Amino acid sequence: MRIVRNGLLAVALAVSGCSGNQSAMDPDGGPAIHIAHLIIGIVAVCGVAWVLVMVMLAAALLRGRGRTGREITNERSLMRAVIAAVAVTVVIVAALTVSSFFTTRGIGVPEPAAMTITVRGQQWWWQVMYADSGPNASFETANEIHIPVGRDVRLELQSADVIHSFWVPSLAGKQDLVPGRSNILLLRAEKPGIYRGQCAEFCGLQHGHMAVLVIAEAPADYERWAAGQRQTALLPSNPEALAGQAVFLGKPCAACHTIRGTSAHGKTGPDLTHIGSRLTLAAGLVETTRGSLAAWIADPQTVKPGNNMPTVALTGVELQQISTYMEGLK
């Protein structure tokens, strides 16, 4: 079943060009749909107003061209025209303010009881924490948020270092992740799909490479995924992967990364328990394959200059083993 689902996701990924949908004008989530309507409305009103002003400008310039001598203009009627134009401006501006207010109301705020996911921004990746009720229900992943379709999801946005901004435009407007605070964002997808977003607040060297994927699935698919994520990592069956695990645990890797079910409990970097199941690597930078894993581990500073992962000296064989192990962490 998981293979089928991953296959479907891969197809979706290929169709959407590895990226998923990332456009405010291509909304598939409740809040984004509301906002897209507002955008179209305001742009239309302002567009018409601009055209009218330009017509007046052209008329004013053409009217007096080549005129000689000062024409006696009726200042009083000119005054009336200016006052009328200002009055129309006031009405338009008031109408837009009210429509904006009602759009905010229409989007609403998530119920405290809604499904909650905590997203912590880090330079330059997203830590994603699921904390459902029940024992052993919580788990952690990175750069990929799965949500069930048609349900309000409450994102609790926090930051571990500097300010970031969570923005998946096809689903909702953005919201900052501010150190020392916890901001709330309502996320809701109306249909299944992969929705891409990326950090929208300048956060340092790799601000440009801090993408996040929201994967909206049918509730049953979501539950299966969540159940899989709750599992600890299985002991690898293939010998190369097993050797890779030994390399991982023997090298400094485990100081920063957690792989649940092993002795790796580092907290600095992303949780790697199911890294092989994630579509992308390094916050949306490359598709997860054995090759890209190897390239990343061998030289993270070339793939993503300035990121916080150091280069760990590995032999060619060790690199091969460790990337096989990573790829297998489904």
Partner 1 sequence: MTRHKEGDRRDTALNDAELQRCLTATWSTPAGLWGALSTVDHKIIGRRYITTAFVFLALGGVLSLLMRLQLAQPEARFIGPDRYNQIFTMHGTNMMFLFAVPVMQAMAIYLVPLMVGTRNIAFPRLNAFSYWMYLAGGLLLWVAFALDVGPDVGWFAYVPLSGPQYAAGKRADIWAQMITFTEVSALAVAVEIVVTVFKQRAPGMSLDRIPLFVWSMLVTSFLIILAMPAIMIASTALILDRLVGTHFFNPAEGGDVLLWQHLFWFFGHPEVYIIFLPAVGMVSTIVATFTRRPVFGYLGMVMALIATGILAFGLWVHHMFVAGLPRLGESFFTASSMAIAVPAGLQIFCWLATMWAGRPIFKTPFLFVIGFMVIFVIGGMTGVMVASVPFDTQVHDTYFVVAHFHYVLVGGAVFPLLGAIYYWFPKFTGRMMSETLGRWTFGLMFTGFNLTFFPMHILGLQGMPRRIYTYQPEMPWSGLNMFISLSAIILALGFLMFFVDAIRSARSGSAAPANPWGALTLEWATSSPPPAYNFMHLPVVSSLEPLADDPDILPVASGLRIDRRELLITSVVQAVPEARESSPGDSIWPLWAAAATSVTLIWSIFTPWAVVWGSIPVAIALIGWFWPKGVVEEDA
DSSP β-ladder status, 175-177 and 144-148: unpaired
Q: Which of 239, 252, 291, 305 binds partner 1 (CB under 8 A)?
A: 305
x-or-dash string of contact with partner 1, 150-189, rule CB under 8 A: -------x---xxx-x-x-x--xxxxx-xxxx-xx-----
Answer yes or no whether residue 11 interacts with partner 1 by CB under 8 A.
Answer: no
Residue 20: phi and psi, rounded to 5, are 80, 175
Stretch that binds partner 1, among 201-209, 230-238, 251-259, 321-329 (CB under 8 A): 201-209
CB nearer partner 1, residue 149 or residue 203: 203
Q: How far is the CB of 87 from partner 1 (least distance, A)?
A: 10
Helices (H), the chain: 2-15, 30-64, 75-107, 219-230, 239-250, 253-256, 290-298, 300-303, 316-328
Answer yes or no whether residue 309 interacts with partner 1 by CB under 8 A.
Answer: no
Footprint on residues 70-129 left by partner 1 (CB under 8 A)? 70-71, 73, 75, 78-79, 81-82, 85-86, 89-90, 93-94, 96-97, 99-101, 103-104, 107, 109, 123
Sign of the dihedral through C-alpha 209, 264, 159, 146 = positive
CB nearer partner 1, residue 246 or residue 286: 286
The Cα 306–Cα 255 span in angstroms is: 19
CB nearer partner 1, residue 150 or residue 204: 204
Footprint on residues 255-284 left by partner 1 (CB under 8 A)? 284
CB nearer partner 1, residue 60 or residue 137: 60
CB nearer partner 1, residue 40 or residue 234: 40
Please count the residues of this chain forming the interface with partner 1, following the rule CB under 8 A: 91
Q: How far is the CB of 223 from partner 1 (least distance, A)?
A: 30
Answer yes or no whether residue 191 interacts with partner 1 by CB under 8 A.
Answer: no
Q: Which of 11, 15, 137, 205 binds partner 1 (CB under 8 A)?
A: 205
The Cα 19–Cα 170 span in angstroms is: 12
Answer yes or no whether residue 208 interacts with partner 1 by CB under 8 A.
Answer: yes
Answer yes or no whether residue 216 interacts with partner 1 by CB under 8 A.
Answer: no
Q: What share of the chain is helix, strand, coil (3-state, %, to 5)?
A: 45, 20, 40
Q: Do 135 and 205 form a contact (C-beta atoms < 8 A)? A: no
CB nearer partner 1, residue 32 or residue 297: 32
Answer yes or no whether residue 22 interacts with partner 1 by CB under 8 A.
Answer: yes
CB atoms within 10 A of CB 279: 19
Q: Do 166 and 196 form a contact (C-beta atoms < 8 A)? A: no
Answer yes or no whether residue 65 interacts with partner 1 by CB under 8 A.
Answer: yes
Q: How far is the CB of 249 from partner 1 (least distance, A)?
A: 31
Is the preceding peptide bond at 124 cis, omega within 30 degrees of 0? yes
CB nearer partner 1, residue 105 or residue 191: 105
The Cα 39–Cα 294 span in angstroms is: 44
Q: How far is the CB of 60 from partner 1 (least distance, A)?
A: 4
What is the 8-class DSSP label of residue 183?
E
CB atoms within 10 A of CB 315: 9
The Cα 197–Cα 174 span in angstroms is: 10
